[in-house]
Structure 1
Amino acid sequence: MSHQHGAHKHGAHKHGAHQSASDLASAIGWTAPAGWPARSIGECKAMLTAPGQRFEMASADIGGVPTRIWKNAPHSLRDIAATGRSHGQREFLIYEDERVTYDAWHRATAALAHELVARGIGKGDRVALAMRNLPEWPVAFFAATTIGAICVPLNAWWTGPELAYGLSDSGARLLICDDERWDRIVPHLGMCPAVEGALISRIPNVSRTNGLTGIAERLDDIIGSPPSYARLPARELPDAEVAPDDAATIFYTSGTTGNPKGALGSHRNLASNIMASAYNAAVAVLRRGEDLPGPAHKTGLTVIPLFHVTACSAGLMGSIWAGNTLIFMHRWDTVKAFEIIEREKVNTTGGVPTIAWQMIEHPARENHDLSSLEVISYGGAPAAPELVRKIYETFGALPGNGWGMTETMATVTGHLSEDYLNRPTSCGPPVAVSDIRIMDETGTQEMPVGEVGELWARGPQIVKGYWNKPDATAETFVNGWVRTGDLACVDEEGFCTIVDRAKDMIIRGGENIYSSEVENVLYDHPAVTDAALVGLPHRTLGEEPAAVVHLAPGTSATQAELQEWVAARIAKFKVPVRVVFSEDTLPRNANGKILKRDLYALFEAEPGS
């Protein structure tokens, strides 16, 4: 996350040049049903947070800052694990032909936690976790955090040197990983002097272990394989004193420049997300004028990597608390996903917008019964307004979105169902315990409603700071607020719209061009399913906007046609001077953010550059 305060006067520009929410709602073919909304956002908040209600709030001192908190949130990850155990024989994890109940998961978690304690791992020690989404992942995560250690989920897409950087930077004493990650890390272990041991899952054969270095052992030798977890003894977790604001995790930011920074998260951060997700769902029901439903068991297909806060904090924590079933895939495959949704009667899925588009566009969709889907939600990347309507039309499912970042342990704002259809470019209002504000480039003046500035956020889900980076922490975290580096505006009802990353804004001859505004107009074109705007250098103007687009199968469009489309809808200076067509969907990082730096080569390869 980088800040460019003072480089341009982004606070001085009105957001009025953007299409209004009602214009976009009608553009995607949605009209609010009669009587909706039955209640205002404020009324919903008052009802849900009233004394004695599930979402009642209290106050706590967090790092010397008085902060609103959820009164009924779990105390720590130990509480979450105990609630998970109480779901007993209900299925928790499904991966290919492996099925693990909540009881079996807790048996494996307790067994591994006792092993970690026996190895001298304790409060504040870092335990790195590097593997694809496997049943072993939630076992290792809770085994470490429930004894007071700090779990460090490393990006499973990283190369060997990147994984070694995470191990070295965090000072991890123990690594728990799968066979693929181990192969990448082994040549670089010399960069990780703190690592004393490694527990490796899914090693293909016994002879292979003979070639492992002295610090490596098979995880299966300690807890068995997932199908055998149910045969482990039922044990309590080891005793440990864990307070809500004790450190629990280090998630690395998806920095697009320089080395990633480790965001130091607390037990309270993760527990707060359970309440935030449930609160957002409750608001959507009350906005309809309906009564809140009782608890219901849901099945979710998790396709976001668990090393990302969206999947771990906003997904895994709430699922355990509610006793839901989670399904993991070896890797994303649209047809396999259809088969899983049909066979397991999946209620919720999503991840990043690309996945939703692939499900909508795939010709095999008609061959499967996907009627169990109720919600398709995503985060990590802006989504085309058109996608909101397509989800509703194609699956009869309600769309979900929200805003958060690694530094906020996921959810700060939530945007679901009719509210999302009604404001398809917004990411929703903040949850009850959180505040957002829009600040000028100096960070000293709050901007009026409707004007663009830097988004700041605060609440009990904001992380403690960056691991071992006091200067970066001081720059980004200010009296309980996190300076996000996102440019945004807020309307009269508190709905937030992210306009751009500060560093993604294009300045053409002194005029600000917010890339998301132009991308949304391109997305509105019936042929476009993926779009990104970048700035090309220009001798006199500084930079000019240029677009990379991916078209839906079976459709066509030309550069001139798309330029005319944009020119008919927004100011002429925002029209891309070049449009390059990509055969594939655009490159993204693990969090779903388009890698804009990778797109510049496409313009160099095109004639006329």
Structure 2
Amino acid sequence: MTPNSKPMASTSLTSPMSRDEAINHVVNTDPRFAIAQTTLWGTPFTVFANAPDNLRTLLQEAAGNYPDRELLVYGEQRWSASQFASEVNRTAHMLVSELSVQPGDRVALAMRNYPEMPVLLMAIVSVGAVVVPLNAWWSGEELAFAISDSDVHLVFADGDRYLALCPHIDERSVTLVGVRDANSPLQYAELLSRSLDDSWPDVSIAPDDDFAVMYSSGSSGRPKGVLLTHRGAISSVHSWRMGKEVAALMDPQAAADQAEVPAFLVVTPLFHVTALHSVFLQGLALGAKLVLMYKWNAEEAAGIIQREQITRFVGVPTQSAELIQAAEKLEYSLDSLETIGAGGAKRPATQVLQLASQFPKASIATGWGMTETNSLGILLSGPEYVDNPDAAGRLTPPLQEMRIVDATGNQVSTGEVGELTVRSPANMRGYLNLPEETRDTLKDGWLYTGDLARVEESGLIYIVDRKKSIIIRGGENISCLEVEGALHQHPAIAEACVFPVPDERLGETVGAAVYLHEDSHADQTDISAFLKQRLAAFKVPDRIWFWHDPLPRGGTDKLDRKTLQRLCQNLDEE
């Protein structure tokens, strides 16, 4: 497809199709989603035959198809698609002329959700360089580790990240450019002011070139750099674009009722795949308005949704819960919302029903994906999710394959639990500087996710637990997620995280950290009595630690189970 070609709409049909019928119809009739076979790194894959070759082409298509449509909003600042593309291109030329960035160079971004983040990201990849988005919650030492690990020599940092980095890097080998409030001799705004060329960079970018190194949560040690290609990111974005066409064929009336121009609220950090891929890049492909939030605040988010007529909200489950409370307090209907999604963690089943009741016009949705899969994975939404709130969903078509395997790599039977493995061109190329970990995770194109799952006769997939998050108490296996699900049913509990506690007699017992809703009260006796009505006695936590603040989270915004386990045990030793 050429950059300025208009997308071809799927055939409009009045009668709803089944899911399989809709998938087949779109793949076979819409050239955008035609599929083909190719070999990548010695392994055969199904790929999109006519997808954009790279992320620069994705931006070119958006600017060509929707030049005057509002694309990016941050407070009072607004960019149309053509204005955003112009600023990206000026930044791209500045990177080359002022900072000598070459194709293949890695450039790090250390900042919160400022508009400079997506501009710089798209500029870096548009000149064939590789972006390294750093976790803005990391310490200076952690930031410096990723910079060294990824061999970065150029970093754009906002004020807090600039101060955190300065004591930990050698300025002779790493150039720091200040963004916004960073007091740096080199300033992004000043460099950009001298760059007037907004033409598209004339640099060749192959589909299988790297576009990013994104760091995983590293719960078992140091964060791991995940090597992601342009094809990988495009495969995810194009699969979601196709999903919109499939949904329209399955429910034509719901599609007809949707807003003409989608509007997405970006509430999670752009240094994670949830925000970067499934919100920003997907929104770019769909011509959506993308409204950035610098920092999460539920009441502020409710106000933005009301004011900007946001149609899509994707956040961690805690944010969805707080949005319910904010909407009630402010008496906002938020009826522009068409989708309320969850990413990063499993949503408690009770919250699914609450959201469906509070926002009846919205489709409540959940998603499973990984940094290693460019966020592509499993999705579930609408009435099927409300009816099956513990399910993860169904594999996103049409490129992915799935197997659930036992310890020897053999596929298990329907209904049996095993490790979830997925194969698609969206999978990572590997882990940076970690060949052994790459070999353990990628086998013949199959990515071993470390998640234990089962698939039912209905085709619904259930994520049971992390492979390494099973508590073995006196020979009995206990799922941390199962106990967490029961804890979340308690009306006083806002967040809960379950982990093993060493025990001389039983090997391990169940421990839990909980954070209560504001103005709520509960103690261990009350919670234990509540759980005994829902769980076998051996699954009820022997010890509960109560936290006065939200529970700590890891690099991908999931509850940091290992850190919580260590902190809680340290409290007992003090």
The answer to whether the superposition gives a TM-score over 0.5 is yes
Q: 1:82 corresponds to which residue?
A: 60
Q: 1:68 corresponds to which residue?
A: 46
| 1:157 partnered with 2:137 | yes
Instruction: Go from structure 1 to structure 2 and tell me whether the alpha carbon gap of 1:363 and 1:558 turns closer, same or farther (over 3 Å shift).
Output: farther
Could you tell me how far 1:153 is from its partner in structure 2? 0.9
Instruction: Go from structure 1 to structure 2 and tell me whether the alpha carbon gap of 1:175 and 1:551 turns closer, same or farther (over 3 Å shift).
Output: closer
Q: 1:49 corresponds to which residue?
A: 27
1:464 to 429, 447, 450: 429
Contact 1:280–1:415, Cα closer than 8 Å, also in 2: no
Deviates more, 1:50-59 or 1:151-160: 50-59
Contact 2:216–2:555, Cα closer than 8 Å, also in 1: no
Q: 1:92 corresponds to which residue?
A: 71
Unpaired runs of at least 5, structure 1: 1-36, 226-231
Contact 1:203–1:218, Cα closer than 8 Å, also in 2: no
Instruction: Go from structure 1 to structure 2 and tell me whether the alpha carbon gap of 1:568 and 1:286 turns closer, same or farther (over 3 Å shift).
Output: farther
| 1:242 partnered with 2:205 | yes
Instruction: Go from structure 1 to structure 2 and tell me whether the alpha carbon gap of 1:224 and 1:423 turns closer, same or farther (over 3 Å shift).
Output: farther
SS at match of 1:576: coil
Instruction: Go from structure 1 to structure 2 and tell me whether the alpha carbon gap of 1:222 and 1:409 turns closer, same or farther (over 3 Å shift).
Output: same
Q: 2:294 corresponds to which residue?
A: 330
Could you tell me how far 1:282 is from its partner in structure 2? 4.1
Q: 2:164 corresponds to which residue?
A: 184
Instruction: Go from structure 1 to structure 2 and tell me whether the alpha carbon gap of 1:84 and 1:178 turns closer, same or farther (over 3 Å shift).
Output: farther
Q: 1 CA distance for matches of 2:144 and 2:357?
A: 45
Could you tell me how far 1:261 is from its partner in structure 2? 1.1
Aligned length: 554
Could you tell me how far 1:554 is from its partner in structure 2? 4.6
Q: 1:134 corresponds to which residue?
A: 114
Could you tell me how far 1:424 is from its partner in structure 2? 1.0
| 1:446 partnered with 2:426 | no
Q: 1 CA distance for matches of 2:569 and 2:92?
A: 52
Unpaired runs of at least 5, structure 2: 1-14
Q: 1:116 corresponds to which residue?
A: 95
SS at match of 2:502: strand
Q: 1:551 corresponds to which residue?
A: 516
Select the structure with the greater relative contact order (CA < 8 A; seq sep ≥ 6).
1
1:221 to 179, 190, 205: 190
Instruction: Go from structure 1 to structure 2 and tell me whether the alpha carbon gap of 1:583 and 1:180 turns closer, same or farther (over 3 Å shift).
Output: closer
Q: 1:358 corresponds to which residue?
A: 322
Q: 1 CA distance for matches of 2:125 and 2:28?
A: 32
Q: 2 CA distance for matches of 1:150 and 1:290?
A: 42
| 1:372 partnered with 2:336 | yes
Contact 1:430–1:494, Cα closer than 8 Å, also in 2: no
SS at match of 2:412: coil
Q: 1 CA distance for matches of 2:282 and 2:327?
A: 33
Q: 2 CA distance for matches of 1:594 and 1:221?
A: 39
Could you tell me how far 1:606 is from its partner in structure 2? 6.8
Q: 2 CA distance for matches of 1:292 and 1:358?
A: 28
Could you tell me how far 1:285 is from its partner in structure 2? 4.3
Could you tell me how far 1:529 is from its partner in structure 2? 3.0
Q: 2 CA distance for matches of 1:411 and 1:311?
A: 13
Q: 1:173 corresponds to which residue?
A: 153
| 1:593 partnered with 2:572 | no
- Amino acid of the structure 2 residue aligned with 1:240: V
- Amino acid of the structure 2 residue aligned with 1:541: L
Identity %: 35
Instruction: Go from structure 1 to structure 2 and tell me whether the alpha carbon gap of 1:303 and 1:153 turns closer, same or farther (over 3 Å shift).
Output: same
Could you tell me how far 1:556 is from its partner in structure 2? 4.1
| 1:505 partnered with 2:470 | yes
- Amino acid of the structure 2 residue aligned with 1:411: L
Could you tell me how far 1:534 is from its partner in structure 2? 1.5
Could you tell me how far 1:51 is from its partner in structure 2? 4.3
Could you tell me how far 1:53 is from its partner in structure 2? 5.6
Q: 2 CA distance for matches of 1:160 and 1:480?
A: 35
Q: 1 CA distance for matches of 2:525 and 2:249?
A: 46
Q: 2:310 corresponds to which residue?
A: 346
- Amino acid of the structure 1 residue aligned with 2:89: A
Which whole-Å deviations, capped at 9, do the CAs of 1:110-163 have from their partners, x for residues lacking one?
112112222432221111111111111111111111111111111111111111
2:227 to 256, 264, 268: 264
Contact 1:381–1:593, Cα closer than 8 Å, also in 2: yes
State the TM-score, normalized to the length of structure 1.
0.85
Instruction: Go from structure 1 to structure 2 and tell me whether the alpha carbon gap of 1:113 and 1:53 turns closer, same or farther (over 3 Å shift).
Output: closer
Which whole-Å deviations, capped at 9, do the CAs of 1:442-483 have from their partners, x for residues lacking one?
3x2111111111111111110100112211111111111111
| 1:143 partnered with 2:123 | yes
Could you tell me how far 1:506 is from its partner in structure 2? 0.5
2:403 to 414, 433, 437: 437
- Amino acid of the structure 1 residue aligned with 2:406: D
Which whole-Å deviations, capped at 9, do the CAs of 1:270-291 have from their partners, x for residues lacking one?
1112122233444444444658
Instruction: Go from structure 1 to structure 2 and tell me whether the alpha carbon gap of 1:283 and 1:510 turns closer, same or farther (over 3 Å shift).
Output: farther
Could you tell me how far 1:203 is from its partner in structure 2? 3.7
| 1:296 partnered with 2:260 | yes
Q: 1 CA distance for matches of 2:329 and 2:61?
A: 37
